[in-house]
Every structure is written in C-alpha cells, then in structure tokens.
Amino acid sequence: MTIRLVIADDHLVVRTGLRAMLAAEPDVDVIGEATTGAQAIELADRVRPDVVLMDLRMPEVDGVAATARIREQHPEVNVLVLTTYDTDADILKAIEAGATGYLLKDTTRDELFRAVRAAATGASVLAPAVASRLMDRRRAPGQETLSAREIEILEHVAKGRTNKEIAAALFVSEATVKTHLLHIFAKLGVQDRTQAVTVALDRGILRLGT
C-alpha cells in the first residue's frame, strides 16, 4: 500500500526536510503541502490523503482546530501531529481533536517512519516523551486506573480487533476509540497497542483468554 501524505507546516525548511525524508520511502507519496491550518483543511478535502502530518502552531487556523475540522469532515483521514510543543494542554487538545498520534520534532527518522505507517492504518502512537509527560501529570507514573470503557476497549485490542471493528461493537465512532487508546497509552506509559496489551497483562488489568 502506498501512503498518500500531506505535510502541514508553516516553515519551508521543515516542510522541505520532511518531504525529502518521507518521499524517499518507497511506500510514501507526498501529495501536497500546506502552510496554514486553513490550507491543510482545504487540501485534505480536495485530495483525501491517508495521513496529514500536522504542525500545531500555524497561521489562520491552528493545528488543533484544523485537526478537528479534518476529522469531522473526513474521518478516514488520519492526522499525525508533529510539533515542538509538549505541554499537557497542547497534547490533550490535539488528542481530543482527534489526532491519531503525537510526535515531537526531535523524533528520529525511524520513529517518524513507523508513526506515519501506523497512522495510515488508523493505529495510535505517542512519542515516548509525550507518554511520559501525560503520565507525570497524574498522581503517580503508571498507576492511574483505567476506566471500565478503557478496559473494555483494551480487551477488544487483545483479541486482535481493529479500531473499526471495536467502534462497531461498542456503537461509537473510530475517533472515540482512538482517543480512548491514546489515554490508555498515556496511563500505562506505552507507545502502541502491542505494548498496552503486554503491560495490561503483566499488571493483571487483562487476563489471558479475555
């Protein structure tokens, strides 16, 4: 599968560097660039990419608002945030807006490539520093209790079900499932679905055969 990607960032140097890196990957096709949030919305509407790589601080419309609009209008378009900002407010706003994942601009090339490929499948991913930051805002790292709904979603994940299948089973949107997954990742201090299930089994949150 070729991943159709749009890069949204108001800095030319950043866009040029990202395009050069990502376009060199055989399964990535950079089909457009946006310099403002408004352009990102318009471009997503026009070309329907698989993934929008979204900066948070942009003119006209910021990345959070652009993410929310894109996800509302085109739920099949996944938004992966790539930013220098790692404050609690920024992270939570992006997740609540429907971002599939959240990376920082000091991420490695390999981490970026993995995250783009994960986002293209609808999988959620958090940068390690972001997961740690979300953990730090709670009473104790890794000790925040999962809600009943989060455990229910994790049980479905453990059975190998996709976000779409989980959403159908629970009568919620895929965006809601992704938001719950990102909260689960943050609470468990993990980066992806596989780690979440492994940690949940280790801690007795899930049991084998659930």
Tokens of 166: 């989980």
**Same domain (yes/no): 46, 119:** yes
Chain Cα centroid distance, residue 157: 16
- Residue 1's Cβ-count burial label (10 Å; 0-12, 13-18, 19+) is exposed
Alpha helix locations (H) across the chain? 12-23, 37-47, 63-73, 88-97, 109-120, 128-136, 148-158, 163-170, 174-188, 193-202
**Same domain (yes/no): 7, 34:** yes
Pairing of strands 78-83, 51-54: parallel
What is the average pLDDT across 97-123? 90
Element (H, E) at 80: strand 78-83
**Same domain (yes/no): 49, 103:** yes
- Residue 112: its pLDDT value, please? 92
**Same domain (yes/no): 40, 107:** yes
**Same domain (yes/no): 43, 122:** yes
Does residue 73 or residue 175 have the better pLDDT?
A: 73
* Model confidence pLDDT, tens digit, residues 18-48: 999 999 999 999 999 999 999 999 999 999 9
User: Which range is least confidently modeled, 49-58, 109-118, 178-187?
Assistant: 178-187
What is the average pLDDT across 62-80? 92
**Same domain (yes/no): 50, 109:** yes
Q: Identify the domain containing residue 163 by its residue range.
A: 138-202
Q: State the Rg of the chain over Cα.
A: 17
User: Is there a domain that residue 133 lies in?
Assistant: no
Residue after which a domain boundary falls, among 94, 127, 160: 127
**Same domain (yes/no): 14, 88:** yes
**Same domain (yes/no): 198, 115:** no
Q: How far apart (Å, rounded) are the C-alpha atoms in residues 196 and 210?
A: 15
**Same domain (yes/no): 89, 178:** no
